[in-house]
């Protein structure tokens, strides 16, 4: 089916969202090269990041779909563009951690790299003005980020299932999935689908053997070799999963 890109409806930090001509059920996503961290206090650019991240995210979303996870992905248009189902985004950044790192390591003054006995699930309220604060289930209900306890239960269960699948996906390419952030949305029929993206911008990925960081922490922490590492993630994934 041929889709025609409509007008710009929203520009985010890493993506632009356009409408799709003649459809209220779909939107068009363009992956940008912009890099931001710390709520856009730090800005940068990586040439071709949009192309690399779009390919990584496509490959992951297709893998999740093959494993029964409903995602927004509809059509892979070209190297920077995809058509997805329009969702009413649940304003929660759902973070799952397998190994301690980042904000939670800092919060408890524990060393990064500490393995967690069970995956740890956290919610952050998606609100740039408030700097995406940590919230719990009851606060999520209070601010009406979700409309029922049932939705919270569904989101948690989906996030844990996605963590299980993604851990295997990355382990097969010798990458340790330390943690990641995902977003969900509700369809016009009221069903919860996985939205947004899954890329080295939104995950912590460490080489299984060297523990070298292969994700956006290289930009956040000025570690260099960012493009080399993003490309390495893509190459490993494509080699193992690309043709499936």
Is residue 179 at the binding interface for ligand TMP, with CB under 6 A as the rule?
yes
Contact 125, 92 (CB under 8 A): yes
Q: In the block, which residue shows the tokens 């058509």?
A: 83
Rounded to whole angstroms, the Cα distance separating 124 from 112 reads 20
DSSP helix/strand/coil, 22 = coil
Q: Given the complex with ligand TMP, which of 19 and 31 has the nearer CB atom?
A: 31
State phi, psi for 99 to the nearest 5 degrees.
-135, 140
Q: Report the site for ligand TMP in 192-221 (rule: CB under 6 A).
A: 202-204
DSSP helix/strand/coil, 142 = helix
Is residue 103 at the binding interface for ligand TMP, with CB under 6 A as the rule?
yes
Nearest alpha-carbon partner for 30 in 16, 42, 47, 20: 16
Is residue 102 at the binding interface for ligand TMP, with CB under 6 A as the rule?
yes
- Which of ligand ASP, ligand TMP, none does residue 179 bind (CB under 5 to 8 Å by kind)? ligand TMP
Tokens of 202: 């939104």
Stretch in the footprint of ligand TMP (CB under 6 A) among 48-56, 66-74, 96-104, 108-116 = 96-104
Q: Given the complex with ligand TMP, which of 5 and 167 has the nearer CB atom?
A: 167
- Which of ligand TMP, ligand ASP, none does residue 203 bind (CB under 5 to 8 Å by kind)? ligand TMP
Is residue 166 at the binding interface for ligand TMP, with CB under 6 A as the rule?
no
Tokens of 9: 């409806």
Query: For strand 115-125 and strand 92-99, is the pairing parallel, antiparallel, or unpaired?
Result: antiparallel
Is residue 49 at the binding interface for ligand TMP, with CB under 6 A as the rule?
no
Q: Given the complex with ligand TMP, which of 88 and 221 has the nearer CB atom?
A: 221
Q: Would you tell me which residues interact with ligand TMP (CB under 6 A)?
A: 95, 102-104, 132, 179-181, 202-204
């Amino acid at each position: 089916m041929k889709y025609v890109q409509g007008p710009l409806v929203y520009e985010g930090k890493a993506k632009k969202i356009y409408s799709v001509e003649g459809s209220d059920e779909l939107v068009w996503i363009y992956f940008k090269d912009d890099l931001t961290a710390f709520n856009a206090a730090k800005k940068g650019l990586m040439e071709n990041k949009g192309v690399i991240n779009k390919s990584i995210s496509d490959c992951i979303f297709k893998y999740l779909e093959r494993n029964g996870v409903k995602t927004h992905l509809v059509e892979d248009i070209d190297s920077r563009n995809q058509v997805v189902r329009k969702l009413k985004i649940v304003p929660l950044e759902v973070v799952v951690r397998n190994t301690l790192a980042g904000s939670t390591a800092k919060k408890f003054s524990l060393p990064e790299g500490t393995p967690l006995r069970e995956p740890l699930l956290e919610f952050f309220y998606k609100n740039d003005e408030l700097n995406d604060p940590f919230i719990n289930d009851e606060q999520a209900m209070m601010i009406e980020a979700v409309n029922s306890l049932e939705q919270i239960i569904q989101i948690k269960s989906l996030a844990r299932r996605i963590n299980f699948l993604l851990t295997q996906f990355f382990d097969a390419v010798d990458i340790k999935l330390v943690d990641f952030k995902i977003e969900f949305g509700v369809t016009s029929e009221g069903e919860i689908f996985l939205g947004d993206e899954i890329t080295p911008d939104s995950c912590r990925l460490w080489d299984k053997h060297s523990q070298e960081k292969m994700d956006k922490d290289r930009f956040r922490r000025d570690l260099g070799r960012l493009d080399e590492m993003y490309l390495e993630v893509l190459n490993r994934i494509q080699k193992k999963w690309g043709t499936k």
